[in-house]
Structure 1
C-alpha cells in the first residue's frame, strides 16, 4: 500500500507531503485546483515521460517520491526475483528531474527507467481520466480477459508463448531454404573458396603480433643501428669509453682502500657497476647482431602481414574471430551439400512444432472460453450494481487464421444496455459515462486477481450523477475493503464514503499561485461535502445534508 507521497517543485506544487491510509482515500477540490497535477506527479515517479509543463519555472530540481509498505508474500517474492531489497517492509520509488532529465531510483539506488516501471506495476495501478477509452479498442479486450483468468491459465499461456517462439524460429529456418539448384551451387562454390582461403593461409595464434613487432623493427632498422652503434662506442668501443674509465677508477681506488673501510665499500660498489656495464655491453653487442636482416626477410614478413590483414578485413579483426568465421562457413557449406535433407528436416521440424502450437492454442482457447463465461456472469452482476438495470454482456470469439503468442483467439466485448437491444461492440453503444462505469466494473473483477494492492482512480465518475453516482460510490467502497483505493472525485456521493479525505486547493504565496494538499478532519470533511453540495452559498441546511450524507455512508 502507498503510505506516503512526497512532491517538490512540480507544476503548482512547491512542496507537499501526504500520508495515505488503508481503505478509501478521497481527494477533492475546486476545478483547476491542481488535482490532475497529483496524478501526473505519481506517473512521473512510476516512469512516465516528463512533460515540460510539469516542471516549475526556475525551480529545478524537481522530486517525486512514493513510499510503499509491502507485506504481500507474492509481491515480496517477485521483488526478490527482480533483486529489489525490501527495507523494513518498505519500497521507495523516486524520480529526480533536473535540466529536463530524470534520475530514477529504487530505495535510493539509481536504476534504469524500465526497471522502475516493472516494479511499479507490482505495487500500483492508475486509472487515468481517459483510460476507459481503451475499451474502444478490441485489441485490448483479450488482455483484460486474460488478466481475469487465473490459476492454470497463466501456466498455459507461458507454454504457449514459449512454443510460439520455437514456431517463429522454425518458420524462419525453413524460409532460409529458398535457393534453387543454381543458387545453391553458386553459394557453395563461394563458401568453399572462402574456406580454402582461410585454411590455406595456415594462421597461427599470436602470429600477427609477432610479425608486427618484427616488421616494425625492420622498418626502423637504420635508426636502431645508428643508436645502438653510438651507445656501444660510448660504453665499450671507442677509446676512453665508459668501461675503460670505470676500470681506471677502480684501479686508483684499490691502491688506497686499505686506509679506510668506507672506501672499500665504495670501491666494491664501483666494481658492481663495472660488472653490470660488461653485461650490458655483451647484451648490446648481441642485439646489434640481431638487427642484421636481408631484403628477402623484410619482403617475406611484409607479404605475410599483408595476407593476414587481408583475412582480417574479410573475416574478423583477430585470429579468434577468423577461426569462428571459418567454423560458421564450414557449417553453412555442409548445410548446402545436404540441402534437400536439411530442408526436409526443417519442414518436418516446423510441422511438429506447428502441431504442438495448434494443440496449445486449442487448450488456451478452451480455458479462455470457460473464463469468458465466468467473466460475463460477473460483469453483468457488477454492471447491475452500477445502475445498468437491464444489461447484457457477452465476450464474442473469433478464430484467427494465423497464430500469435496469445493463441488464435480474437475477442470483442459486446453489450446491450437497454431491453430489446441487440448486442453491439462497446465502441458503438457506450457513452463516456457508461464506459467509465464499465471500466470500474472491470477493475472490480480484476481487483480480485491483480497483485497491485493500490488502485488510483482519476475522476472515474465522469458523466454520472444521482442514483448512478451513489452506486459507483458503493462499488468503490467495496473494492476498498480488499485494496487501498485513492480516488479523485467531484461527486459528494463518492467523497462521503472516504476513510481519509484530502482537500486540494490553490493558495497565493509571495504573489505566486501554489497548490496545497491538506488532510481533513471529520468536521472539515463535512464542510467540504457541503461545498460540493451547495456551491458558493453554504447554508445550515446544506451542512446538515452533508453531515447526514457522511453518516449514512458509514
Structure 2
C-alpha cells in the first residue's frame, strides 16, 4: 500500500506531502490545477525516463519520494538478493532525484539502485492507468502481452524456452547467410584471413618476448654508460685513484689499528668483527663488478636486430592487439574462421540440420505455449464479460482471437513470443459480430474495457495499489454510477487512487483530496488538501453545479454522499 507521496520542486509543485489511506482515494480539482503533474511525478519515481524540464524554475533539482508498506515475499526476496533491507520489516521507500544537468538518481531505502531495479520492484507495488494507457488496446500487437500478463507464472518458464530457441535459430540463420553469401566477398575474406595468419605465424611470437627484448635493448643501448660506471666503481673499491686509498685498503687500515685495542672492550671487538665482514663483502662485490665489466660487449648488429624485432612486434600490435597474448588470441579466432570458410560446404549442411532440428523444437514449444494461452483466454473471456456486464455493458461479447502468424507467402513468422497472433475482439451491441476493439469501442467503452482489464489483472497479480487517471473519460449518468460502484468494490481488496471529474465516482471516496492551483508573489503553485466531510459536500456540489452552488445543489451533494456511504457499508 502507498502510505505517503512527497514531491519537491516538481513543475508547479514546491512542497507536497500526501498521506493516502486504504480503500478508495479520490483526487479532484479544477482543470489545469495539476492533477496530471502528480501522475507524471509518480511515473518518474517508479522508473520512467527522467525529464529535467519538470524541475521547478529557479531550483536545482526535483525530488519524488514514495513510501510503501508491503509484505510481498517475492518482492522481499528480490530486495534481499540486492542487499536491501526493509525499514521496520515492511516499509519500502523509493526516491528519485532529477537534476538540472539531466542526471538522475534512484534509491530504494537509501541504497542507490538502477532504474531497472526500481521498475522491477514497482510492478509488485503499484499499477498506473494513465490518460493514454488505453491506447495500448488499439494495437493488436500488444494484445499477446496483455493476455500473457493474466497468468504469467503459468507460462513464464515456457516463454523463456521459446525465446531461447528463437534466438538460437536466428543465430544459426545469420551464420548460414554468412557462409552462403556473396562468393566473391567470401573469397576476398579468405585471402585476407590467410594473409593475416601468415603474417602472424611468420613472426613466431612467444608470450613475454617483447618484455625480454625491451630489457635487453635497454641494456645494450646503455652498455657504454654501464661500462664506465662499473669501471669507476671497481677502481674506487679496489685500487683507489692515486690521491685516495681504495675502499678496501682504507677498511684494511682501520681493521689493523683496531686490532691493537679490540681486546680492551667488547664493543670495540664487535666493531672490529663488523669491519672484517665489510672487508670480505667489498672483496666479493669488487670481484663481481670486475667480472660484469669485463663481460660487457657492445655489438651494434645485435642492437639493430633487437630494434627490428621490436618494430615487427609493435607493427603486429597495431593491427591485431595490444599485447602478444591478444595477437595470439586473434590468431586462434581467424584460424577457426578461415577453417569454417574453407570447409563451408560441410558446415552449411551441419547448420541446416541444426536449423531443422531447432525448428521442430521451437514449433513444439510454441504449440504448448499456444495451448496454455487458449486455456488462459477462455478464463479471461468469461471474467471480462462478467466485469463488463457489471459496468453497464449488458450485451457485450468478448473474444480472444487466435490466428497463425504468417507472412505474405503463408510462411509462419517465428518470434520470441511464439507462433500466435492474438487480437481481442468485442461486440457491444446485440446481434453484432465481435470485431477489433479499435473499430468498435467508443471512448467511454474503452475506459470501461481498460477498467475491466485492470480489475482482473490486479486480482491475478495481487497488485496492492492501483492508480486510475481519468478512467471516467467518455462516460456519464448511470454508467458513471456503475464505474464508481465498481471502483468502490475493488477498493475493498486494493488501495485505489483515482483522479476524476465526475461526482458519481467522487461520492464513493474513502479519502478525498482536492488539488488546487494558487498564484502568489508572481508564482503559481499546486497544492493538495484532504477534505473533511463538510468540505466533501462543497466539492461534490462544485462537481455537480459548477461555480454557483445553490441550496438544492448542496442538498443533492449531501444526498449523493449518503448514498455512497450506504453502498460502501453494504460491502462490509
TM-score (normalised: structure 2): 0.87
The verdict on how the C-alpha distance between 1:233 and 1:521 changes in structure 2, with shifts beyond 3 A counting, is farther
Give the match for residue 37 of structure 2.
37
SS of the residue 1:65 aligns to: strand
1:150 touches 1:449 (CA, 8 Å); kept in 2?
Answer: no
Superposed counterparts of 1:160-239, under 5 Å: 160-178=162-180, 191=193, 194-195=196-197, 197-199=199-201, 201-237=203-239, 238-239=241-242
Instruction: For residue 317 of structure 1, report the CA deviation from its aligned partner.
Output: 2.5
Superposed counterparts of 1:326-345, under 5 Å: 326-345=331-350
- Choose which of 104, 107, 110 in structure 2 pairs with 1:108: 110
Instruction: For residue 443 of structure 1, report the CA deviation from its aligned partner.
Output: 1.0
- Choose which of 271, 275, 299 in structure 2 pairs with 1:294: 299
Q: Hey, what's the Cα distance between the residues in 1 that align with 2:183 and 2:140?
A: 47
SS of the residue 1:503 aligns to: strand
Q: Hey, what's the Cα distance between the residues in 1 that align with 2:490 and 2:222?
A: 84
Instruction: For residue 170 of structure 1, report the CA deviation from its aligned partner.
Output: 2.3
Superposed counterparts of 1:41-190, under 5 Å: 41-81=41-81, 84-87=84-87, 88-100=89-101, 101-150=103-152, 152-178=154-180
SS of the residue 1:125 aligns to: strand
Give the match for residue 434 of structure 1.
445
Q: Does 1:353 align with 2:355?
A: no
The verdict on how the C-alpha distance between 1:59 and 1:387 changes in structure 2, with shifts beyond 3 A counting, is same
Q: Does 1:368 align with 2:373?
A: yes
2:29 touches 2:35 (CA, 8 Å); kept in 1?
Answer: yes
My pick for the range that moved more, 525-534 or 398-407, is 525-534
Q: Hey, what's the Cα distance between the residues in 2 that align with 1:304 and 1:392?
A: 82
Superposed counterparts of 1:383-398, under 5 Å: 383-398=388-403
- What value does the CA root-mean-square deviation take over the aligned residues? 3.0
Instruction: For residue 276 of structure 1, report the CA deviation from its aligned partner.
Output: 5.1
Superposed counterparts of 1:447-526, under 5 Å: 447-507=458-518, 512-526=523-537
My pick for the range that moved more, 101-110 or 337-346, is 337-346
My pick for the range that moved more, 382-391 or 485-494, is 382-391
Q: Hey, what's the Cα distance between the residues in 2 that align with 1:61 and 1:241?
A: 78
My pick for the range that moved more, 336-345 or 242-251, is 242-251
Instruction: For residue 324 of structure 1, report the CA deviation from its aligned partner.
Output: 2.4
SS of the residue 1:122 aligns to: coil
Q: Does 1:549 align with 2:560?
A: yes
TM-score (normalised: structure 1): 0.90
Instruction: For residue 108 of structure 1, report the CA deviation from its aligned partner.
Output: 0.9
The verdict on how the C-alpha distance between 1:479 and 1:234 changes in structure 2, with shifts beyond 3 A counting, is farther
Q: Hey, what's the Cα distance between the residues in 2 that align with 1:380 and 1:70?
A: 32
1:68 touches 1:92 (CA, 8 Å); kept in 2?
Answer: yes
Instruction: For residue 268 of structure 1, report the CA deviation from its aligned partner.
Output: 5.8
1:395 touches 1:412 (CA, 8 Å); kept in 2?
Answer: yes
Q: Hey, what's the Cα distance between the residues in 1 that align with 2:549 and 2:293?
A: 108
Superposed counterparts of 1:314-333, under 5 Å: 314-333=319-338
Instruction: For residue 331 of structure 1, report the CA deviation from its aligned partner.
Output: 2.8
Q: Hey, what's the Cα distance between the residues in 1 that align with 2:430 and 2:331?
A: 74
The verdict on how the C-alpha distance between 1:46 and 1:279 changes in structure 2, with shifts beyond 3 A counting, is farther
My pick for the range that moved more, 342-351 or 354-363, is 354-363
My pick for the range that moved more, 359-368 or 482-491, is 359-368
Instruction: For residue 353 of structure 1, report the CA deviation from its aligned partner.
Output: 0.5
My pick for the range that moved more, 512-521 or 467-476, is 512-521
The verdict on how the C-alpha distance between 1:248 and 1:62 changes in structure 2, with shifts beyond 3 A counting, is farther
SS of the residue 1:533 aligns to: helix
Deviations 1:97-132 (A, max 9, x none): 233321111111112222222222232211111111
Q: How many positions carry a matched residue from both structures?
A: 554
The verdict on how the C-alpha distance between 1:540 and 1:293 changes in structure 2, with shifts beyond 3 A counting, is same
Q: Hey, what's the Cα distance between the residues in 2 that align with 1:184 and 1:35?
A: 62
Q: Hey, what's the Cα distance between the residues in 2 that align with 1:540 and 1:440?
A: 35
Q: Hey, what's the Cα distance between the residues in 2 that align with 1:241 and 1:30?
A: 105
- Which structure 2 residue ranges, 5 or more long, are not aligned? 407-412
SS of the residue 1:396 aligns to: strand
2:52 touches 2:100 (CA, 8 Å); kept in 1?
Answer: no
Q: Hey, what's the Cα distance between the residues in 1 that align with 2:43 and 2:246?
A: 80
SS of the residue 1:518 aligns to: strand
SS of the residue 2:414 aligns to: strand
Give the match for residue 409 of structure 2.
none
Instruction: For residue 230 of structure 1, report the CA deviation from its aligned partner.
Output: 4.0
Instruction: For residue 261 of structure 1, report the CA deviation from its aligned partner.
Output: 6.4
Instruction: For residue 86 of structure 1, report the CA deviation from its aligned partner.
Output: 3.0
Instruction: For residue 487 of structure 1, report the CA deviation from its aligned partner.
Output: 1.1
The verdict on how the C-alpha distance between 1:283 and 1:8 changes in structure 2, with shifts beyond 3 A counting, is farther
SS of the residue 1:5 aligns to: strand
SS of the residue 1:407 aligns to: coil
The verdict on how the C-alpha distance between 1:476 and 1:236 changes in structure 2, with shifts beyond 3 A counting, is farther
- Choose which of 539, 545, 554 in structure 2 pairs with 1:528: 539
The verdict on how the C-alpha distance between 1:275 and 1:91 changes in structure 2, with shifts beyond 3 A counting, is farther
My pick for the range that moved more, 49-58 or 334-343, is 334-343
Instruction: For residue 516 of structure 1, report the CA deviation from its aligned partner.
Output: 2.1
Give the match for residue 10 of structure 1.
10
1:447 touches 1:479 (CA, 8 Å); kept in 2?
Answer: no
Q: Hey, what's the Cα distance between the residues in 2 that align with 1:225 and 1:434?
A: 98
